[in-house]
Structure 1
Amino acid sequence: MDIRHLNYFLEVARQKSFTKAAQALYITQPSISKTVKNLEEELGVTLLDRYGKKVELTDAGEVFARQAQEIVNSFHNLSSELDDLMHLKKGHIRIGLPPMIGASFFPKVIGEFYKQYPNITIQLFEDGGKKVEKDVVSGALDIGVTVLPTDDSLLDGYIFVTESLKVVLHPTHPLAGEEEIHLSALREDAFILFREDFTLHDRIIGACQKAGYQPRIIYESAQWDLISNMVAAGLGVALMPETICRELDVEEVCILPLHERIPWELGMVWRKDRYQSFAVREWIAFTEPMLKKANDEPLC
């Protein structure tokens, strides 16, 4: 029994005739008669009372017709739902974003996406890059933004920002007048870092260790504006991506190049071996060209 067989039976019930049903369905009468006969044999009941050229539903046929119609309606609804998805009329996307980059890149991108696909909903989860990557791998998120590189055996993605970190100092810091700063020159300073669930946390500590010292960390935060405010209050120094530095008030903090290049590459990533919904695949195609303009044309 399949949906085609149910449609054949329902058409016979509507027409009360095998001949008229066959004509309406553009099939031969023997084919439709055989299909109905097979249904009766499969179910073990008589569905149609045949007399002459007329047919009527039996009691069992009435029950079967009601249920068959519901099944056919559900199938048509399913087909419509899938058609909507394929044409991107609806869907849901779970996206992970580090808090430090959400405000800088995504308000305009999400706004433009909603204009084109108003029935696709987006649920944002703010976490550090390490947690975002872990949740994409586990399937808790459909897609995520994180600092590269990631495990390319599990994840696909694209890069949309390639930058370096800069030093953020209080304007009265002794090094504030330099053209660039060597990381070793910050040996005696207190550091304000992103939390340990951010990729930059370990990357900055590793760079300091490579420069010959263990950084003295006085505070960790998930919020870049809080970190910059603490620097502005003279509590320590910070290393921040160029994109974030463009958001800072240069009257409150001094931003200088770092001699040692600490790379900061942002990427959109998704699980390599997992089926991606139509909405997610369209998000990827829609956002890639927009986000790759981010370095030259900030989207905030």
Structure 2
Amino acid sequence: MLLNDLDYFVTLAEEGTFTKASQKKYVSQPSITNALQRLEKELGETLIIRQRGTRSVVLTEAGQILYKHSKQILRETEIIKSDISNQQKIWLGVPPIIGATIFPAIMRRLGTDEIDAIHMVESGSSDMYELLDKDRVDMGFVGSLTPERSKQYDSTYITKSSYVVALPVDHPLATRDYLSFEDLRGERFISVGDAFTQHQVLVDQLRRYDMHDEIDNMYITNELMTEQGLIAAGNGVGIMIKLAVAGRRDIAMVPLQEPIDFYIYLIQKRDHQLSDFENITKQKMVEAINDLNF
């Protein structure tokens, strides 16, 4: 039983006529007919009935059974092809904040083969779990406010940072030893979008302090660099992890009076089998992070 014959049969069943099926597959009508005849001969069953007075066909009971299983076979064949072609590819989820801080240093420690294999998928930590669940990434970095203890994912601890208030260097509060959200009442907040843990932290804290005007007046951008630039230029203040603003001379960092920790993990679905190459690359990334001492 040839895969090509099954493909032609499925197309005939879905298109309903030999003409439409041949046009869909860019082949002659005899090619579709020959495929059908081979299948009927091999199975010893009539698979279609030609409708009188029309050119359309309907499936017999045997044809319906073959159609259902052929769809599954063709689908599995595509998965096999994809898995084989992707065995030297790693789809890695990277939140923008981690991509702008930790990830470049990791890449500098990897070899050419690993660098060529990694396909970075940028997404906020909040969306990373969905990408993992739908197998759109093999593994991904995530940021969490609490230690990762999910039974659904294997997690490797990377590092811990903390949230700070990010202000223009000439802001009156920039020289304070620490700040509370009460100190920030009336300020214009700048934040990345709600797909990012950072945004959720900010909104939760503003609600906690009944700072609803600040929520309504918040300026939101989906670009970390834009957020940093707006803060540095004096357009507002933000709540960011220390790693995201460390080393910038145009942004002041002031610790929060009530510290909020930010844990970073590299996670994968527990039932997602990594290839040997993926496991080796993952281990090299973890070793690189340990060497860098973030």
| Aligned partner letter, 1:223 | E
Question: CA-to-partner distance for each residue in 1:149-199, whole Å, 9 max, x for gaps?
Answer: 557121111121211111111233231221111122112111111211111
| Aligned partner letter, 1:113 | L
1:114 deviation in Å?
2.3
1:144 deviation in Å?
0.5
Indicate yes or no: 2:180 matched with 1:182: yes
1:119 deviation in Å?
8.7
Match of 1:173 among 168, 171, 174: 171
CA distance in 1, matches of 2:206, 2:115: 48
Question: CA-to-partner distance for each residue in 1:51-107, whole Å, 9 max, x for gaps?
Answer: xxxxxxxxxxxxxxxxxxxxxxxxxxxxxxx9xx9xxxx711000111122132223
CA distance in 1, matches of 2:125, 2:115: 28
Q: 1:277: which partner in 2?
A: 275
1:228 deviation in Å?
1.5
CA distance in 2, matches of 1:224, 1:284: 26
Question: CA-to-partner distance for each residue in 1:15-41, whole Å, 9 max, x for gaps?
Answer: xxxxxxxxxxxxxxxxxxxxxxxxxxx
Going from structure 1 to structure 2, the CA distance change for 1:286 and 1:119 (only over 3 Å counts) comes to closer
Going from structure 1 to structure 2, the CA distance change for 1:290 and 1:228 (only over 3 Å counts) comes to same
Give % identity.
Answer: 20
Going from structure 1 to structure 2, the CA distance change for 1:189 and 1:137 (only over 3 Å counts) comes to same
RMSD after superposition: 2.6
1:191–1:218 CA contact under 8 A, matched in 2: yes
1:184–1:212 CA contact under 8 A, matched in 2: no
Indicate yes or no: 2:141 matched with 1:145: yes
1:293 deviation in Å?
4.5
Q: 2:197: which partner in 1?
A: 199
Question: CA-to-partner distance for each residue in 1:95-152, whole Å, 9 max, x for gaps?
Answer: 011112213222342243224x459611111111112221012211101011125571
Q: 1:235: which partner in 2?
A: 235
Going from structure 1 to structure 2, the CA distance change for 1:293 and 1:239 (only over 3 Å counts) comes to farther
CA distance in 2, matches of 1:290, 1:118: 13
Indicate yes or no: 2:106 matched with 1:133: no
| Aligned partner letter, 2:126 | K
CA distance in 1, matches of 2:275, 2:221: 34
Q: 1:162: which partner in 2?
A: 160
1:200 deviation in Å?
1.6
Match of 1:287 among 280, 285, 288: 285
Q: 2:102: which partner in 1?
A: 105
CA distance in 2, matches of 1:194, 1:118: 30
| Aligned partner letter, 1:140 | R
CA distance in 2, matches of 1:271, 1:226: 32
1:262 deviation in Å?
1.4
Going from structure 1 to structure 2, the CA distance change for 1:293 and 1:262 (only over 3 Å counts) comes to farther
Q: Secondary structure at the match of 1:292?
A: helix
2:188–2:218 CA contact under 8 A, matched in 1: yes
Q: 1:257: which partner in 2?
A: 255
1:195–1:222 CA contact under 8 A, matched in 2: yes
| Aligned partner letter, 1:228 | Q
Going from structure 1 to structure 2, the CA distance change for 1:198 and 1:120 (only over 3 Å counts) comes to same
| Alignment TM-score, normalising by the size of structure 1 | 0.63
| Alignment TM-score, normalising by the size of structure 2 | 0.64
CA distance in 1, matches of 2:115, 2:197: 34
Structure 2 residue runs of 5 or longer lacking an equivalent are 1-83
| Aligned residue pair count | 208
